[in-house]
Chains A and B, each alone.
Chain A
Amino acid sequence: MSIAAIEAVDVGKAYGGVAALTKASFTAEAGEVHALVGENGAGKSTLIKILGGRVRPDQGEVRIGGRPVSLSGPEAAHKLGAWTVFQELTLLPWMTVAENLLLRREPRGGFGLIDRAATAREADALLARYGVMHVDPRALVEDISLAERQVVEIVRAISHDPQILFLDEPTSSLVEREVEWLFGQIRALRQTGTCIVFTSHRWGEIRSIADRITICRGGTDVGTFTDIDEDEAVRLMTGRRVEALYPPLVPLPAAAPAVLEAADLAGPNVKRISFELHAGEVLGLGGLAGHGHREVFRLLFGDAHANSGEIRVGGKSRHFRSPRAAIAAGIALVPEDRKTEGLLLQMSVRDNATLAILKRLTHFGVLDRTAERQAAQSVVDSLRVRTAGIGLAVGALSGGNQQKVLLGRWLLAECQILLLYDVTRGVDVATKHEIYELVSRLASEGHAILFYSSDAEELAHLCHRVLVMREGVVAAELSAPGITAEDIVSAAVRDHLAA
């Protein structure tokens, strides 16, 4: 029997009296790919931070190669051969990819000075060694995409030949091809005896790469499995069955009026798109990433300008010059990246929820704090936002609950048309379920919802109709009942397969 590469024994960690991890244990061996799965808040990220040396546990023990270790910081872990790709990336934005890759091990030239040309060359060779040709080592990190940054961060970690590699949600910002690349790297590392521990919310990925799976729930481990099906895993993670994840589809009333229409709309990356969105309808937008979905949302929200075509709201032609104008017309957008697009993370749930209706809550220039509190509390109650109080900073909530606060803001502002852009990305199963119920409820109350998701399964279960986009046009329109994820995927890739 091999010596465990990494072992966590009853580790626990509390932040300000709130336990993030109560008592978690697991063991991963050399040459093993080990997945940590669980809902957000189950303690996976905290566990990874402890193992990576970023956070010190309050209790319990971490053992590397069988020996108990006390990690004073990530560097201490590095010395023991343990490298971590944290969820919050640690690349330096205004330095080049090369400087980041070779930080603290830059090639030296004359007088012991760093040779910048050689740094770029070495970085280039390093990226090429790991099959990364699409990232320019001379570019600033700030100028490359989030996915590319994730890839660079991964390359930096594996270029140190780690004995143990921790990856916290490495695939959350990667597209399919990059995930494939990462799994290729992971398999190669496994062959050389590296122990890889990763977290993910995507069951398909976990199945395809993990040797063993440890399920976490509520700050502790509920078991390690070599073979477990999704239903069982979801039940262990949440105590809920997978079929019960989606609410039943509420049928559309026959005479629902079209509240939002796009007529031959064209803009950047959108060639020509027409559709009608009715009151009470959930209209899905599906297809492969990069085929114009994001741009359709931006056009409708006044965040991009149409080259031609028309947007009609309630039958009237509208031209939005800014998101402000779109909001005034009752259109709200909930983006997938709430950190940069919409929420003020340092401010409270209350402030964030009532931001759009401050004018209404203000009398003679004075904010009515009582009304503000009531409004915010109503959001928390009706959307079941899980927060310790409305005074808590929004940044302290989990991703799904941040989405709810943002959605609540627009509901307070009485927006009838909701543009939801991949709102469940990176959200745990239980919160996903709550968001699905919310979408269904809001539609049945008469809101019109445009719903983009990178998860075809979600679209198939949640939408009255799904428009599958390909290269900036609608390639197929599918209607419920009977939409399947396979239909959506095959409509999205049909040409690709034929080509």
Chain B
Amino acid sequence: MSSSHSPPETVLAASGPRRSRFSHFLVQNVGLALVVALLIACIILYCVLYLVTQHRLPGGFELTSTLNNTMPLAFAGIAQSLVVLTRGIDLSVGGVIDLTNAMAALTLNGGPVQTTLWTAAILGVGVLCGLLNGVLVAVGRLQPILVTLATLSIFQGIAIKVLPQPGGAVPAGFTNVLANPNWPVSLLYIPLIGLIWAVFRRTRLGVSVFAIGNDAMAASSHGISVKRTVILAYMLGGFASACGGLILAATSTAGDATTGNTYTLTSIVAAVLGGVSLFGGRGSGLGAVFGAFVTTMVVNILFFAHIDPLYQTFYEGLFLLAAVVAANVIGQIVRRRR
């Protein structure tokens, strides 16, 4: 960038003052802001219902159990977000959770060293699952939805092979570290995830993931390797799913090769509620974490509102629709006012 040439005369002058940085920040993070607002509203509603029915406010036990029950979905939501940001979709999230959960139940019964080694190995399996997806999508040029639908079944099948019957036992120490049942230690996950996401967003890989989600052709013309980025995104997603599988094993203190299945769809819900665009290129993993908490809170609210469990999914569906429509409308209003 030399400055040797003389400045040309014509300048495109600014027509007015610029928007404040805060205004830019708000508009560019409107999805995140909305999910936080939604979560706060859900928590308030939950507390009110709890107070009315239980005649006291929810306490440490409720907080701890909500956190521990939600963390697997939170990680599944991050896994989904990473892939959706590249304009893909990962239906195998549930399969990876099944597999890693089953492996955890089978292998985590030794001492601390052995447990640590197996934990690392299980995370590695998650990464390998992601690698398989990524290679099939990026190198095989196959549709993500087809690839991951197939690998979902494959991972589920392997999980059943690993742990044919629900069971196994997870040591208490493992549970206390990953999903402490007595104290809301899991609350620490949220700032930790926020920090990791902020770092990710500031790495070359993070920028590349967003860039190819925006426009893969344009990104590649600026030297970003689309294949490499897609594969790495699926691998990171596999890692996050494996984290979910491990935490799920820790909370349930046992394994079940089918318990992860629901996470395929709920992870998409968490990501979308969290402001991740299914068209790729925008959103945040932290948003998906908040999205996961919103879905948990909705279940809690329905419980305390004495909704017949038979109709629970009906109301969940209504809520999801209302939330997405509202987010869309508010998002558009914010953009239009600029």
Question: A residues engaging B (CB < 8 A)?
Answer: 54, 73-75, 78, 89-96, 99, 103-104, 106, 111, 113-116, 129, 131-136, 138-140, 143, 151, 159-161, 177-178, 180-181, 183-185, 187-189, 191-192
Contacts and interface: CB of A to CB of B under 8 A. Distances in A.
B113 interface: no
A99 B213 CA distance: 14
Interface string B209-236: 0110111011111111000000000000
Contacts of A95: 210-211, 214, 281
A325 to B, nearest CB: 23
Nearest to B213: A94
Interface string B273-298: 00001000110000000000000000
A134 B12 contact: yes
Contact of B8 (A90, A111, A133, A187): A187
Given A73-B220, A90-B222, A103-B222, A116 B202 contact: yes
Closest CB pairs A-B (n = 7): A184-B8, A90-B218, A92-B214, A131-B11, A113-B202, A74-B221, A114-B202
Given A90-B215, A92-B215, A93-B215, A188 B7 contact: yes
B218 A92 contact: yes
Given A138-B21, A139-B24, A103 B12 contact: no
A85 to B, nearest CB: 11
Contacts of B223: 75, 78, 104
A91 B199 contact: no
A462 to B, nearest CB: 32
Contact of A191 (B6, B21, B199): B6
A146 to B, nearest CB: 15
A188 B5 contact: yes
A115 to B, nearest CB: 8
B310 interface: no
Given A134-B12, A139-B19, A75 B5 contact: no
A103 B210 CA distance: 11
A54 B221 contact: yes
Interface in B236-265: none
A116 B5 CA distance: 29
A132 B215 contact: no
Interface residues of B, number: 44
B207 interface: yes
A42 B24 CA distance: 43
A191 B11 contact: no
B182 interface: no
A188 B3 CA distance: 11
Contacts of B220: 73
Contacts of A111: 199
A94 B28 CA distance: 9
A166 to B, nearest CB: 13
B188 interface: no
A74 B219 CA distance: 11
A131 B7 contact: yes
Contact of B11 (A89, A93, A96, A181): A181
Contacts of B318: none
B5 A94 contact: no
A406 B188 CA distance: 58
B133 to A, nearest CB: 24
Contact of B221 (A75, A138, A183): A75
Of B13, B24, B199, B202, which is in contact with the most chain A CB atoms at under 10 Å from its CB? B202
Of A94, A103, A116, A161, which is in contact with the most chain B CB atoms at under 10 Å from its CB? A94
Contacts of A177: 10, 12
B14 interface: yes
A90 B199 CA distance: 26
12 contacts: A78-B223, A92-B211, A93-B214, A94-B282, A104-B204, A104-B222, A129-B3, A159-B1, A177-B12, A180-B10, A181-B8, A187-B8
A449 to B, nearest CB: 33
Interface string B179-209: 0000000000000000000010011100100
A114 B201 CA distance: 8
B218 A91 contact: yes
A140 B23 CA distance: 12
A433 B220 CA distance: 39
Nearest to A156: B222
A183 B3 CA distance: 18
A184 B10 CA distance: 6
A99 B5 CA distance: 25
A188 B221 contact: no
B6 A188 contact: yes
Given A74-B222, A92-B211, A134 B1 contact: no
A151 B12 contact: yes
B308 interface: no
B338 interface: yes
A189 B228 CA distance: 36
A103 B211 CA distance: 9
A116 B203 CA distance: 11
Nearest to B222: A103
Contacts of A160: 1
A309 B5 CA distance: 54
Of A89, A103, A132, A161, which is in contact with the most chain B CB atoms at under 10 Å from its CB? A103
Nearest to B212: A92
Given A74-B222, A161-B2, A188-B6, A94 B214 contact: yes
